[in-house]
């Protein structure tokens, strides 16, 4: 065998070519087997409409080896029935109109079932590839976390040492390592969340929670990232309790706060507010940044969408998509508003107000 052919057979395309050849060969064998069975049976039974049985090789080939093998099985089936079973026998011609109708029916049914089987096969292969990818991302994220913990922990000890504290250059470098490691950790968390959302879906852990707690927890967690930014907090009195998974909504809100900080000038304030109407609790984050262009209000929630106007800011295009998925998992909605480019953005999480649980009596 020439070396280039060997090389080709070892390459990914080559491998699929070999697989296809084997598939076609097996399809041929099944057709032969069906024909042999039919011929044997025809010694005892008055077999008339054999065509239907040739659907078996077509469907098997479509499920196992794809469309080409299915087509081959179909053509061979037609040829075999014309040659062996339909008058005149041992001749490819077919005289009886009934047999011609048989063959037309066969072609129609084989085409439809073959197509369905091929679609099923492709979906199965795609699902396999996806679950493999998700498992890979999951284990990679976990493997990244452990060294990251050593980096974050070690730099935090370095930052405390008096030698480093005294030296301005050293302490700023330690800060850089620390901040970048934290950012990497945030990205890994996003990757994990995205995997969780797309692989097995999210199973919310429902409980009654005070929206105030969600707001203050998200703010507390994002505080280091806000680095002294002015945050205007407006939480309405007597908000109803929300029935959600608090951790999911807190993550979603955290994404919004992080985005507001990232995409607006450092000297402008960020507003975080919580209010309620009769049927919804709204948690909103507003900034005085670049705003949204026409049509962007829904686009920004798409996976991997990034506005061309923020190309200078590092990001993956996952944050808002994650926020939307987490919110929706808790029965909420998420929306973005903007008075136009240059007029800032407000993103709002709306959580449904459910029938409040019975309160307890007497404790004064």
Partner 1 sequence: MNDTPPVVLVIDDEPQIRRFLRAGFDLEHFTVLEEETGEAGLRTATLRALDLIVLDLNLPDMDGAIVLERIRGWSKVPIIVLSVRASDDDKVRLLEAGADDYVVKPFSMPELLARARTALRRQARGTHGEPVIKVGPLSIDLAARAVLVDGVRVALSPKEYRLLQVLAQHAGNVVTHNILLREVWGARHMQNAHYLRILVRKLRRKIEQNPKEPRVLVSELGVGYRLASGSESD
DSSP 260-271: HHHTS-TTS-EE
Which positions from 242 to 281 touch partner 1 by CB under 8 A, shown as an x/- string? Answer: ---xxx--x-------------------------------
* Residue number with CB closer to partner 1 (136 or 157): 157
| CB contact at 8 A, 244 and 353 | no
* Residue number with CB closer to partner 1 (213 or 341): 213
Among 72, 78, 209, 257, binds partner 1 (CB under 8 A): 209
Instruction: Choose among 21, 109, 121: nearest CA to 68.
Output: 21
* Residue number with CB closer to partner 1 (151 or 225): 151
| CB contact at 8 A, 44 and 75 | no
- d(CA 307, CA 264) in angstroms, rounded, equals 14
Size of the site for partner 1 (CB under 8 A): 45
Among 185, 199, 271, 307, binds partner 1 (CB under 8 A): 185
What is the torsion angle, in degrees rounded to the nearest 10, for the CA atoms of residue 291, residue 297, residue 301 and residue 302? -110
* SS3 category, 347: strand
* Residue number with CB closer to partner 1 (104 or 233): 233
Instruction: Choose among 217, 238, 227, 241: nearest CA to 270.
Output: 227
Classify residue 1 by burial, with Cβ atoms within 10 Å: 0-12, 13-18, 19+: exposed
- Residues numbered 220 to 239 that lie near partner 1 (CB under 8 A) are 220, 233, 235
* Residue number with CB closer to partner 1 (117 or 214): 214
Asked if residue 203 binds partner 1 (CB under 8 A), the reply is no
User: Least Å distance between CB 246 and partner 1?
Assistant: 4
* SS3 category, 283: strand
User: Least Å distance between CB 319 and partner 1?
Assistant: 19
* Residue number with CB closer to partner 1 (191 or 214): 214
Asked if residue 241 binds partner 1 (CB under 8 A), the reply is yes
Residues found in the chain: 364
| CB contact at 8 A, 268 and 288 | yes
Among 208, 268, 302, 343, binds partner 1 (CB under 8 A): 208
Please, which residues bridge with residue 338 across strands?
345
Asked if residue 207 binds partner 1 (CB under 8 A), the reply is yes
Q: CA 91, 92, 97, 100 torsion: positive or negative?
A: positive
* Residue number with CB closer to partner 1 (279 or 360): 360
User: Least Å distance between CB 233 and partner 1?
Assistant: 6
- d(CA 22, CA 71) in angstroms, rounded, equals 15
Q: What six digits make up the tokens of 320?
A: 């808002």
Asked if residue 60 binds partner 1 (CB under 8 A), the reply is no
Residue span binding partner 1 (CB under 8 A) among the ranges 13-21, 38-46, 211-219, 287-295: 211-219
Asked if residue 216 binds partner 1 (CB under 8 A), the reply is yes
- Please report how the helices 55-65 and 67-84 are oriented relative to each other, as an axis angle in degrees rounded to 10: 160
| CB contact at 8 A, 51 and 102 | yes
Which residues have a Cβ under 8 Å from the Cβ of 279 and sit 6 or more positions away? 352, 353
- Residues numbered 135 to 174 that lie near partner 1 (CB under 8 A) are 142, 145-154, 156-157, 160-161
User: Least Å distance between CB 198 and partner 1?
Assistant: 19
Residue span binding partner 1 (CB under 8 A) among the ranges 96-104, 216-224, 286-294, 337-345: 216-224
Footprint of partner 1 (CB under 8 A): 142, 145-154, 156-157, 160-161, 178, 181-182, 185, 205, 207-210, 212-217, 219-220, 233, 235, 241, 245-247, 250, 356-357, 359-360, 363-364
């Amino acid at each position: 065998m020439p070396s280039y052919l060997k090389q080709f057979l070892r390459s990914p395309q080559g491998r699929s070519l070999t697989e296809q050849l084997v598939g076609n060969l097996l399809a041929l064998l099944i057709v032969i087997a069906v024909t042999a069975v039919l011929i044997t049976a025809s010694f005892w039974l008055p077999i008339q409409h054999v065509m239907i049985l040739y659907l078996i090789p077509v469907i098997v080939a479509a499920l196992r080896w794809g469309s080409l093998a299915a087509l081959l099985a179909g053509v061979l089936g037609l040829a075999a029935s014309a040659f062996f079973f339909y008058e005149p026998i041992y001749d490819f011609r077919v005289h009886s109109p009934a047999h011609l109708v048989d063959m037309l029916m066969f072609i129609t049914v084989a085409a439809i079932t073959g197509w369905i089987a091929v679609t099923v096969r492709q979906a199965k292969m795609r699902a396999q590839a996806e679950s493999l990818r998700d498992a890979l991302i999951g284990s990679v994220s976990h493997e990244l976390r452990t060294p990251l913990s050593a980096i974050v922990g070690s730099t935090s000890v370095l930052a405390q040492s008096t030698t480093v504290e005294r030296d301005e250059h050293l302490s700023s470098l330690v800060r850089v390592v620390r901040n970048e490691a934290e950012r990497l950790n945030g990205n890994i968390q996003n990757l994990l969340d995205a995997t969780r959302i797309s692989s097995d879906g999210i199973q919310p852990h429902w409980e009654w929670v005070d929206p105030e707690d969600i707001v203050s927890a998200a703010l507390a967690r994002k505080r280091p990232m806000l680095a002294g930014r002015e945050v205007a907090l407006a939480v309405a009195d007597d908000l109803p309790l929300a029935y959600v998974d608090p951790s999911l909504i807190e993550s979603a809100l955290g994404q919004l706060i992080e985005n507001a900080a990232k995409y607006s000038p450092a000297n402008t304030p960020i507003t975080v507010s919580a209010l309620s109407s009769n049927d919804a609790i709204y948690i909103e984050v507003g900034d005085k940044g670049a705003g949204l262009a026409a049509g962007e209000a829904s686009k920004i929630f798409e996976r991997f969408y990034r506005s061309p106007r923020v190309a200078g800011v590092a990001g993956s295009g996952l944050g808002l998509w994650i926020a939307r998925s987490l919110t929706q998992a808790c029965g909420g909605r998420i929306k973005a508003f903007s008075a136009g480019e240059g007029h800032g953005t407000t993103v709002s999480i709306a959580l449904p107000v459910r029938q409040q649980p019975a309160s307890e009596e007497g404790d004064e």
